[in-house]
Amino acid sequence: MTDARSFTTSPRRARWLRLRAMLAAGLVLGIGASASHAAWTDSEQATAVFEAGEIPAPTLTRSCQFVPGLLGIGARVRVYWQLPEGYTLDDVEVRASTSGLGSVLAPLTGFTLRNNTVSQPGGTYRTEIPTNLLGGLLGLGSELELAFVVVPEGGGGWESEAAAVASNAGLIGGIGGNCRNLT
């Protein structure tokens, strides 16, 4: 025979079993897990400022000049400019864009910055850029825009703003040709 007391539990033991069952269910269901979230929050805040580096632009040091040549042959544009500190001629590109019939017929060819640039006093440069033959000889309403841009090697594709001039070959033989600084 069995004792009747062995199948019945005391109220105290029953509470203890219920508490254990609830704690086990809480662990399985994740109740109380959100309390650990509070351990990862903090009242401190941090701020930061990110700035992109800037590549300085070349500067024009005086007004450009249009030199018409003889009846437009040998016409050229003289640009007076200065490199930003820390850069060399190897870091500079000269870009030409043109408009008008003369520009379509004869683009700039054979130009290199190093061969067409002369160092001037005070760390400045004078670059002579030949205009195209038909634009200089016949006029044809062609305008040549020239831009000096610093594009350093290893610069990740970044470049400076342009120092730019525009030149118009004028009428036949370079009559009325001109040049103006754009920046």
pLDDT tens-digit map of 62-96 = 999 988 877 667 778 899 999 999 999 999 988 88
Q: What span, in angstroms and rounded, lies between the C-alpha atoms of 56 and 59? A: 9
The pLDDT-based confidence of 137 (bands split at 50, 70, 90) is very low
Indicate the DSSP class of residue 138. Answer: H
Place of tokens 């269910």: 25
Residue 139 vs residue 166, higher pLDDT: 166
In this predicted structure, the answer to whether residue 115 has a pLDDT above a threshold of 80 is: yes
The pLDDT-based confidence of 182 (bands split at 50, 70, 90) is very high
**Maximum CA pair distance of the chain?**
135
Long-range contacts of 114-117 (CB under 8 A, 24+ apart): 114/89, 117/89
Provide the mean pLDDT of the chain.
77
Mean pLDDT value across residues 8-30: 77
The per-residue pLDDT for 136 is 47
The per-residue pLDDT for 36 is 53
In this predicted structure, the answer to whether residue 132 has a pLDDT above a threshold of 80 is: no
In this predicted structure, the answer to whether residue 10 has a pLDDT above a threshold of 60 is: yes
